[in-house]
Amino acid sequence: MNVEEKLKEILLEILDIKEEDITPGATLLRDLGASSIDMVEIFTAVENALDVKLGRPDMTKIKTVQDVVDHIQTAQRQKESVS
């Protein structure tokens, strides 16, 4: 399962949304209705599911689904370079 698919699965589990609502440009807070608590749950679930450490992302820069995907992929590359 790739990053996008796993993130979609997590978003569907945590948020009360439909699969078609999840697009790369969808904003987490406005379009998908995520709260700050939901954001913590999402990032924790991603870390556990994909075995990456996302740290404390700058939430002012992570607004869309694609932003989350990019952040995850950066964390994965950093993990691989350390290994």
Per-residue pLDDT tens for 42-56? 999 999 999 988 877
Q: Which two tokens stand for residue 26?
A: 């969808």
64 forms beta bridges with: 27
Find, among 59, 61, 55, 60, the residue nearest to 75 by Cα.
55
Domain positions in the chain: 3-82
- Say which CATH class 3-82 falls into: mainly alpha
Give burial (CB, 10 Å; 0-12/13-18/19+) of 71.
Answer: buried
Query: pTM to 2 decimals?
Result: 0.90
pLDDT tens-digit readout, 12-41: 999 999 999 999 999 999 999 999 899 999
